């Protein structure tokens, strides 16, 4: 992954990027999974038109990274996303630009939540995440999720996909345990920086552990 830094820095079409580790078995876990990794790329333009991008099975501008994965026969799963709603910052930036707090979108929804956890709040954070992760996996409308992070234990994120925005909001604000964790993060000031963004998934390619969890719901 370290080799990817130079081509990403030099690519002027990319406005923001992050190389991300994953929790064990790809879930939200304090233990890292050394066999699974994530790459977030933000760009205002597709490599080609949407249809051509899907047809070529390549959402990245970066041919070096794509060729590297192919050479080592890595299993790949890619999602093309359009940010629509959100707030907060990452490294002090609104990385997806100014976003609305709410829109009229109600269909399939992807969500990215990330935070830099204060060192004196790490214990509070990690003792609450396991129960919430289990609850999310059983929630109505839940499709898939990945625990990701740019720094072990401290800079953490969750990416999840839901059948509808209302399903996601029911989990976030109506399930008692998750709602209580949200309340604690605000009251006890767990984070020095955080960000919450909702997306419309436009297309997907590849698989995770042999399956594509949203293949039937999006163009491919």
* pLDDT tens for each residue of 190-202: 999 999 999 999 8
Q: Is the dihedral of CA 214, 216, 219, 220 positive or negative?
A: positive
If pLDDT is split at 50, 70 and 90, which confidence band does 189 have?
very high
Predicted TM-score (pTM) of the model is 0.90
Q: Which CATH number fits domain 2-217: 2.60.40.10, 3.40.50.2000, 3.40.50.2300, 3.30.70.100?
A: 3.30.70.100
Q: Comparing C-alpha atoms, which of 121, 38, 87, 84 is closest to residue 194?
A: 87
Neighbours of 156 (CB within 10 A): 25
In tens, the pLDDT along 149-182 reads 998 889 999 999 999 999 999 988 888 777 888 8
């Amino acid at each position: 992954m370290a080799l990817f830094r130079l081509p990403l820095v030099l690519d002027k079409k990319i406005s923001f990027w992050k190389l991300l580790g994953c929790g064990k078995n790809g879930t939200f876990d304090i233990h890292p999974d050394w066999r699974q990794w994530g790459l977030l790329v933000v760009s205002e333009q597709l490599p080609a038109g949407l249809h051509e991008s899907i047809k070529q099975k390549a959402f990245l501008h970066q041919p070096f990274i794509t060729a590297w994965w192919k050479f080592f026969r890595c299993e790949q799963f890619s999602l093309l996303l359009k940010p629509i709603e959100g707030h907060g910052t990452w490294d002090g930036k609104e990385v997806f630009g100014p976003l609305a707090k709410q829109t009229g979108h109600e269909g399939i929804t992807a969500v990215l939540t990330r935070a830099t956890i204060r060192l004196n709040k790490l214990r509070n954070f990690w003792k609450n995440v396991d129960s919430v992760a289990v609850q999310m996996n059983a929630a109505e409308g839940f499709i898939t999720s990945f625990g990701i992070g740019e720094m072990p234990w401290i800079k953490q994120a969750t990416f999840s996909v839901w059948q509808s925005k209302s399903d996601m909001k029911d989990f976030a604000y109506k399930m008692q345990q998750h709602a209580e964790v949200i309340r604690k993060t605000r009251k006890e000031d767990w984070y020095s920086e955080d960000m919450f963004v909702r997306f419309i998934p436009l297309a997907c390619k590849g698989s995770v552990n042999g399956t594509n969890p949203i293949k039937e719901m999006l163009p491919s």
